[in-house]
Structure 1
Amino acid sequence: MLGLAITLLIGFFLRLTGLNWDQGMHLHPDERMLIMVSDKIHFFTNLNPNFFNYGSLPIYLLSGLNQIVNSLFPTTLSSYDSMLYIGRALSLLADMLVIFTVHKLSWKLFKNRQISILAPLLYALSFFPIQNSHFFIVDTFLNLFLLLTLYAILRFVERESRTRVALIAFFFAAALTIKITAVIFIPFIGAVILFQKRKSLGNGAVTLVIFTIELLLFSFILMPFAFLDWQKFIADVSLQIKLASDPYVFPYTLQYVGTIPYIYYVKNIFLWGLGPVTSVLSIIGCIAIILELKSKYLKRKLKTQHLLLLVFLAFYAFYFVSLGRSAVKFMRYMLPLYPFLSILAAYGLMKLSIIWKKGVIIVFVVAAFLWTLTFSSMFTKEHTRISASNWILKNIPTNSVIAVEHWDDRLPIYHSEQYRFEELQLYNQPDNKAKWEILNRQLERTDYMVIASNRLYVPLQKLDNCAQYKACYPITSQYYKKLLGGQSNFKLIKEFVVQPELRILKWSLQISDQSADESFTVYDHPKILIFQNVSKDKSGL
C-alpha cells in the first residue's frame, strides 16, 4: 500500500500544480460553456440545462456542489468565476479516482503486485491525463466511468449476480449521461451478458431486459431532461454526431480535413499524450499479452483470468476501432485509452525486468517522470494570452485599431475598451474577391494585428486546393503565407510562446509541440503573434 500511496501523492501533486493556469480568466471554451450552463441550474427549482452537446451529470455535480458550498460558506466562493475552481477540483478528483481504479483493475487482471503498482504510476505520470485534469471538461469524467464500467463487467465475468449487473448499469448510465459517445458500448455489454449466459439463452434474455430497465432508470435519474425534453436532446446529439462524421460542419474542425483515421490519433498519443517512453512499453506489453493468450489457447489452458484479459483487450479495441475512424479527431476523444495503455505498459515493463533485471524499471520510470516534468513545466509559467495582454496594454497606444481573428479569443483579454477592433472573418466562404475586398479595407484601417493561436492559420493554409477540398481557401492561404513569411505590410514585432522545458541546474531542454493536435496547445499555451502595419498606405497585402 505504500507504493500506491506514493503514486497517489505524485499524481495529486502533478495535477494540482498550475491548477489556476489561466489566473481565473476562463480561457478554455468548453469550461466556459459548462460553467455557464451549470450557473443556470438550481436544485430543485430549475434542473433543465437546455443543453445536450454534453451530458448533464457533470453539470449537476458542479451546480450541486456549488450550492452546498454556498450554503456552508455564503461568500463569493460560489460565484460564476469561483465555480471554475470547483469544477477543476472535481476534474482533479475524478482523475485521482482513475489512478486508484487502474490499481484495482491491474490487480484483478494479473494478480501481480509489481504490475498493480507500476500501472497506476505510469498513468499518474502520463501528461495528457494530467493536462485534462486541469480543465473542467466532460472527458475526464467519461474516462473514470468507462473504467468503472469495465471493472464492473470484469466482476460480472468472474461471478454472475444481479447486483453486478446493476453495477454495470449504474456506471454505464453515468458514462452515458456524461457523454453520449459511451453509447457505442451497448452492443459490447449485451454480447458479454449473452456470452456469460450462453448455456441458457432464455436467462440471458431476461438478464438483458433487467439490465436495460436498470440502465434507463439510472439514466433518467442522472439526466432526466434527456427524456423530458427529448426533442432538444435528439437535436443536440444529432448535431454532435454530424460533427464527428464531417470536419466541414464547424470552422474549428477544418484542422482535421485530410487527416488519416487511426494514424492521427496514434501519432498524437505516442508523441505528446503518453510520450514515447510509455508508448513503447505499452506496445511491448500488448504484444506480450497477445502472445501469452495465444500460447494458453493453443495449449488449451485458458482460465477465467485469461478470459478477463480478453474482455479487457476487446473493450478498448472496440472503443478505438469505433472512434478512431471519426472525421473529427480531438485528442481528448482518446483519453479513455490512457488507463488501458498504462496497464499494457506496466505489463511490458514487468516483462523487460525479467530479461534485463529490476534496474530497467527504475530507468524507464525515471525517463517517464522526466518527460512529464518537461511538459508539466508549462503550468508553472504565465499563460501566453495573459503575457500578451499585458504587453499590448503597455506597448500598443490607446485607441489603436487592432485586427483580431473570429472564432478565437480577442486580445487583450482585459481592458480591451481602450482599443478599437477589426474582426477578420477569415473562415467565411466563398474565399473570393468580394470577401477579400472587405478584409483588405479592414486591414487598411488596422494599426496592429494579434493572432491569438494557430487555430486559423494552420488549417486554412493547407486548404488551398479547390479541386481537392469541399471548403477551400486559396486566397486566404496565400495571405497567411505572405504574412508569416514576412512578405506583407505587417511586420512581426512580438511573439509569445511557452514550450515544454526540462531544466536541470544550468542545463535545459526545450521541445516544440506546435506540430501537435491544435487542442493540445490552444487552451493552456497557445502561440501568440503580434504584427504591426508598417506601410505608409496601410494596404493589407
Structure 2
Amino acid sequence: MKKILVAATIILLAFFFRFNNLNWDENFHLHPDERFLTMVGTAMKIPSSITQYFDQKTSLLNPSNIGYNFFVYGRFPLILTKYLAVVYKLDNYNDFTILGRQLSAFFDFLVVILIFKTVLFLEKHYRFLPSIKYWASFFYAIAVLPIQLSHFFAVDTFLNFFMFGSFYLALRVGRDRPLQNTILSATFFGLALACKVTALFILPLNLFFLIKTVFVRRQSLIKITGFVFGYFLISYFILRIADPYLFQNSNVFDPTINIT
C-alpha cells in the first residue's frame, strides 16, 4: 500500500507541475519558437487524400508549400497537432498553441512513467535497489527544465519521449519478446527522428543493446547484419510516414533528403 501511495504521489506531482497554468502568457504568444510553430501550424491544410499527404510538392502540410521554406524542426509534432486541432475544432491561433502545450505536457508526463518502468526493469534484471525507481521518477517529475519545456509548444518533449521510449524498448529486447520490442523500438526511433534529427544521438545506445542480444544468443554475422538492417528499415519507413516532407520525393526507394 505504501509503495502505491508513493508512486501515485509522484504521478500526481508530475501531472500537476506539467499541466498547471498552461496559458501562462494569457494568449500573448511570448515564446518566439512556439509562435513560429503556431503560425506554420495554423497555415497548414489537411490533404484531401493519402496520395497528396505523401506528395512533397502539393501537400499543404509541407511548410515549404505554404511560404515557410526555412523550417528546421521535424514536422511530426506539428502534423499531429494539426490533425487533432481540426478534429477538436481548435484550429485557430490561440487554441492551437494551447493544444500544442497540452500535447507537450502529455508527452513529458509519459516520460516520468517511462523512467519508472525503465528502472523497474533494471531492478529486476540488474539488481538495482528497489527505491531507485521512485527516486529517479520523482527527481524527473520535479525537475525544472522538463516542467518548463512542458509549458512550451515545441518539439523537445515529443523528441524526449520517443527517444527514451526507443531506448527502453531496446533495453527489453534481450529479456522479453525480442521481435516485438525490436519492432517497437525501431518505430519509436523513427518517430523521434520525425521530431528532430538529434534523435540520432540515442542510436548507438539502442544498437548496443540490440547487437548484444544477438551476440549473447551466438547468432551468425549474417543474422546480426539482418537484425540491424531490419531495425533501420522499420525506422526509415516510420520516418517516411511521420515526416514525408523530409525527403525530396515520395519514392520510398529514394532516401534523398530535401534540402530546400
TM-score class, shorter: 0.7 to 0.9
Quote the residue 2:119 is aligned against: 106
Task: Tell me, yes or no, if the aligned pair for 1:149 and 1:172 is still in contact at 8 Å.
Answer: yes
- Secondary structure of the equivalent of 1:177? helix
Given that residues 187 and 235 in structure 2 are in contact (C-alpha distance below 8 angstroms), is that contact kept between their aligned partners in structure 1?
yes
Aligned to 1:87: 100
Q: Note closer, same or farther for the CA distance 1:232–1:156 as it changes in structure 2 (3 Å cut).
A: closer
Say if 1:193 and 1:204, in contact at 8 Å, map to a contact too.
no
SS at match of 1:58: helix
- Equivalence for 1:59: 78
Matches within 5 A, 1:450-529: none
After TM superposition, the structure 1 = structure 2 runs for residues 183-194 of structure 1, keeping only pairs within 5 Å, are: 183-194=200-211
Aligned match of 2:179: 162
Determine the C-alpha separation between the residues in 2 that align with 1:211 and 1:52. 28
Q: CA deviation at 1:113?
A: 4.0
Return the offset for 1:150. 1.0
- Is the 2:248–2:257 contact (alpha carbons within 8 Å) kept by the matching residues of 1? no
Cα distance in 2 for partners of 1:67, 1:228 equals: 27
Cα-Cα RMSD: 2.0
Higher strand share: 1
Whole-Å Cα distance in 2 between the matches of residues 168 and 224 of structure 1?
20
Matched-pair contact (CA < 8 Å) for 1:52–1:232: no
Query: Structure 2 unaligned runs (5+)?
Result: 49-59, 65-69, 250-254
Q: Distance in 2 between matches of 1:156 and 1:234?
A: 35
Superposed CA deviations along residues 400-459 of structure 1, whole A, max 9, x for unmatched, are xxxxxxxxxxxxxxxxxxxxxxxxxxxxxxxxxxxxxxxxxxxxxxxxxxxxxxxxxxxx
> How far apart are the structure 2 equivalents of 1:185 and 1:100?
19
SS in 1 for 2:195: coil
Aligned-pair CA distance for 1:117: 2.0
Equivalences for residues 109-508 of structure 1 within 5 A: 109-111=122-124, 112-159=129-176, 161-198=178-215, 199=218, 200-228=220-248, 233-235=258-260
Question: What do residues 235-293 of structure 1 show as CA deviations (whole Å, max 9, x unaligned)?
Answer: 5xxxxxxxxxxxxxxxxxxxxxxxxxxxxxxxxxxxxxxxxxxxxxxxxxxxxxxxxxx
Deviates more, 1:181-190 or 1:29-38: 181-190
> Which residue of 1 is the match for residue 55 of structure 2?
none
Distance 2:118 2:205 in 1: 19
In 2, Cα distance between the equivalents of 1:207 and 1:88? 37
Name the counterpart of 2:51.
Answer: none
How much has 1:232 moved relative to structure 2? 7.4
Matched, 1:13 2:5: no
Distance (Å, rounded) in 2 between the aligned partners of 1:232 and 1:175: 17
2:43 to 34, 40, 43: 40
Q: Distance in 1 between matches of 2:138 and 2:202?
A: 27
Structure 2: distance between partners of 1:104 and 1:128 = 21
Q: Which amino acid aligns with 2:13?
A: I
Contact 2:194 2:243 in 1 (8 A): yes
Deviation at residue 92 of structure 1 after TM alignment:
1.0
Contact 2:14 2:141 (8 Å CA) reproduced:
yes
3-state DSSP class of the match of 2:259?
Answer: helix
8 Å CA contact 1:52–1:233 kept in 2: the answer is: no
CA–CA distance in 1 between the matches of 2:174 and 2:10? 29
Tell me by how many angstroms 1:147 deviates: 1.0
Aligned 8 A contact 1:106 1:115 in 2: yes
Cα distance in 2, alignment partners of residues 205 and 216 from structure 1: 16
**Where in structure 1 are there 5+ consecutive unaligned residues?**
71-76, 236-541
TM-score (norm 1): 0.40
Give the alignment's TM-score, normalised by structure 2: 0.81
For the structure 1 residues 164 and 57, does the alpha-carbon distance in structure 2 shift closer, same or farther, using more than 3 Å as the test?
A: same
Amino acid at match of 1:96: F
One-letter amino acid of the counterpart of residue 9, structure 2: I
* Alpha-carbon distance in 2 for matches of 1:172, 1:214: 9
Identify which range, 103-112 or 157-166, moves more after superposition: 157-166
Distance change in 2, residues 1:219/1:147 (3 Å): same
Deviations 1:85-133 (A, max 9, x none): 1111111111111111111111111245422222211111111111111
> Which structure has the bigger radius of gyration?
1
Sort the Cα spacing of 1:232 and 1:81 in 2 relative to 1 into closer, same or farther, 3 A: farther
